[in-house]
Chain A
Amino acid sequence: MTDPITIVVNGEERRLSAELSLSDLLARLELDPQAVVVELNKEIVRRPALAETTVRDGDRIELVHFVGGG
């Protein structure tokens, strides 16, 4: 176990009890990894790397998908 962390996901601050992987974060947010693209501190994390990438205190995460547009 690690100490509690504070991260920013899609512009909103979130407090978590401990570090976790990006896969676990998506699961906690009930998001399908196939349906979102993950950016960690402005670097894209490809899907195969989600499970092995740890979310740490202060990280900024963007979760994006396609919406209607012209």
Chain B
Amino acid sequence: MSAADQPLVIGGREFRSRLMVGTGKYRDNETMVRAIGASRAEVVTVAVRRVDLDRTKEEGVLFHLDPKEYFLLANTAGCYTAEDAIRYARLAREAGFNEFIKLEVIGDEETLLPDVAGLLEAARTLVAEGFKVMAYTNEDLVTALKLEDAGCAAIMPLASPIGSGLGLINPYTVRTIKRRVSQPVIVDAGVGTASDACITMEQGVDGILMNTAIAAAEDPVTMARAMGAAVEAGRLAYLAGRMPRREIAVPSSPTSGMLD
């Protein structure tokens, strides 16, 4: 990263990578571990679920990922009410790793779009309980401002719906949120390939969280590497400041000195 860049700080903690990755949907644990390593991400997300008492399924994800090597960010995925999300967040904190929570309150099964009223309610409660809330939200400025006002440590607007791979649908709104919110903005969900990640970072946001784009790639380990490079390239391009767009060509070579 360029010497001109500032480190990413969320809730008073400094993070070494602007790419955060999920641990779901991998075809096997070995691929997950290798892909996360290749992404060079520090923050990895995990979900809270029942232990399988019949042992027919695998052990918990921590059996494969060393909590000393990664920063575990628990989510409240699958929660459809503020009450459920708060319950899952408390359980996650009790696991004893940190006080950060990626707060999701889902409002619609088909699109997995957030229920912003439930999200705000849960955010207020969890902030009051000392959580550092990173709120998964839609790309709506007013909601982002309310989440910040509620004390969230990061605002996480979506690029497009979870698992869709549609990329950054609305760069303008994400840019507007970044301009107006003073807490870090981490785009969460919707990135499909490296160019999506790069374009997203070029909007000036502070980071990206992704899962499916890596896990569902034909070669997740190589895609993870591509995503790491894309996030860094997009960040550098943003910091460098792009040239103005023009509707006409401007020659790059001298117009003088041409032969008769």
Contact = CB atoms under 8 A, between A and B. Distances in A.
Contacts of B26: 68
Interface residues of B, number: 34
Interface stretch (A16-24, A35-43, A52-60): A35-43
A68 B50 contact: no
Given A37-B91, A46-B94, A66 B72 contact: yes
Contacts, number: 89
Given A31-B51, A63-B50, A64-B49, A70 B75 contact: yes
A44 B90 contact: yes
Q: Chain B's interface: helix, strand, loop or mixed, by majority?
A: mixed
Given A35-B60, A44-B91, A70 B211 contact: yes
A67 B91 contact: no
Interface string B39-63: 0000001111111010000001110
Contact of A44 (B25, B94, B189, B211): B94
A49 to B, nearest CB: 11
B25 A70 contact: yes
19 contacts: A9-B53, A11-B50, A35-B62, A37-B91, A37-B94, A44-B94, A63-B53, A64-B50, A65-B60, A66-B72, A66-B95, A68-B24, A69-B24, A69-B45, A70-B23, A70-B24, A70-B75, A70-B162, A70-B211
Interface of B: 22-26, 32, 45-51, 53, 60-62, 72, 74-75, 77, 87, 90-92, 94-95, 162-163, 189, 209-212
